[in-house]
Amino acid sequence: MSRAGREGTQQRVAVVTGAGRGIGAAIAKRLAADGLAVMVSDVDVRTAAETAKAITDAGGRAESQGADVADREACFALVAEAREELGGIDVMVSNAGIAQVKTLLEVSPADLEHMLGVNVGGVLWCLQAAAEAMIEQGRGGKIISASSIAGHQGFDHLGHYSASKFAVRALTQAAAKELAPHQITVNAYCPGIVGTPMWDEIDLGLGRYLGTGQGEALAQYSQLIALGRVQTPEDVASFVSYLASHDADYMTGQAPMIDGGIVMV
C-alpha cells in the first residue's frame, strides 16, 4: 500500500513536549514541515507559543499548551487538548527533560526525585496518555522518547541523569512489546553533545569539577565526536522525522544513537 493510501486524507497530528527551545523546537518545526499538525508543549508557556507561531508563520498548523510532564494529569490534559484542537494524536514525542551535574556522592533525595520525575515520569505519563488515546482511535501510532548517549553509557558527574536515560530505554523496550498488538511502535533517540542551552548548563556545571572556564568543558568533550563538530538540534530532528514517518513502521523497541560517533556499540 502506498504512503498516501496508509495516511488517507486526514492530517496526522504530533504532540511534542519540551518544544519551546532547543531540540524540541527543532523537532516540532521539522514535523510541521513534514506535513503534520503539531501540539507544541513546554513548561514555559511563552516559548511554546513562540514555537507554534513560527510554525504557523511558515504555513504549518500548530497549537501550544503549557505542561509540566512530571504531572501525570497535565500529560493526559495535553493529549486531550491535541485531540480537541487538532483532531487526534498519531505521534507522541516525549522530548522534555532536565540535566544536573553532580557527583553521585552529592546527589540529594530532592535531586533524584526531580530528575526521575521529569525524565522518567514524564516519559511514562506521556506514553500512557498517548497510548490510551491511540488505542481508542484504533489507527495505531508512534511513541518516541528522548534518551541519550548517557542512556547507553554512564557518564561521571552525570550519574543520576544517566540512570534516568537508561530507564527511558527500559520503558521503550517494555512498551514496544505491550503496545505492538495495537500497531503502536515505541522508540527512543539518543543525542550526544548538542549545541543547546542545556549543554551550556552542563558545560558550566562540569567546569566546577574540571576547573575549566566557559565553553572549555564542551570543547574537551567535543573532541570525542568522530564527525568533528557539535551536533545541531536539526540533526536530531531529522532522525525523529524518520521515526515519526511510515518509513519506520517496522522499527520498534529501539534507542539508536544520533551523536556523530561518540559512543559506538
User: Do residues 109 and 215 both lie within one domain?
Assistant: no
Number of alpha helices (DSSP H) and beta strands (DSSP E) in the chain: 10, 7
User: Do residues 78 and 185 both lie within one domain?
Assistant: yes
User: Do residues 108 and 205 both lie within one domain?
Assistant: no
User: Do residues 94 and 218 both lie within one domain?
Assistant: no
User: Do residues 236 and 226 both lie within one domain?
Assistant: no
User: Do residues 175 and 207 both lie within one domain?
Assistant: no
Is 64 among the domain residues?
yes
Q: Residue 200: its pLDDT value, please?
A: 86
Is 82 among the domain residues?
yes
pLDDT in tens, the chain (265 residues): 233 334 446 899 999 999 999 999 999 999 999 999 999 999 999 999 999 999 999 999 999 999 999 999 999 999 999 999 999 999 999 999 999 999 999 999 999 999 999 999 999 999 999 999 999 999 999 999 999 999 999 999 999 999 999 999 999 999 999 999 999 999 999 999 998 888 888 888 888 988 888 888 888 888 999 999 999 999 999 999 999 999 999 999 999 999 999 999 8
Ranges of beta strands (E only) in the chain are 13-16, 37-42, 62-66, 91-94, 141-146, 184-191, 257-258
Q: Residue 221: its pLDDT value, please?
A: 86
**2 by DSSP, 3-state: which?**
coil
Is 2 among the domain residues?
no
Is 1 among the domain residues?
no
Is 140 among the domain residues?
yes
User: Do residues 82 and 168 both lie within one domain?
Assistant: yes
User: Do residues 225 and 109 both lie within one domain?
Assistant: no
Is 6 among the domain residues?
no
- The rounded distance, in Å, linking the Cα atoms of 17 and 145 is 10
Q: What is the pTM of this model?
A: 0.94
Residue-by-residue DSSP string for 81-110 = HHHHHHS--SEEEE-------B-TTT--HH
User: Do residues 129 and 33 both lie within one domain?
Assistant: yes
**34 by DSSP, 3-state: which?**
coil
User: Do residues 113 and 198 both lie within one domain?
Assistant: no
Is 110 among the domain residues?
yes
User: What residues make up the domain containing 143?
Assistant: 12-192+232-257
CATH number for the domain spanning 117: value is 3.40.50.720
Q: Residue 9: its pLDDT value, please?
A: 65
User: Do residues 144 and 202 both lie within one domain?
Assistant: no
User: Of the listed 161, 189, 209, 242, which one is catalytic?
Assistant: 161
Nearest to 240 by CA among 29, 1, 68: 29
Known catalytic residue at 209: no
- The rounded distance, in Å, linking the Cα atoms of 20 and 35 is 19
Structural domains of the chain, count: 2
User: Do residues 112 and 226 both lie within one domain?
Assistant: no
Is 3 among the domain residues?
no
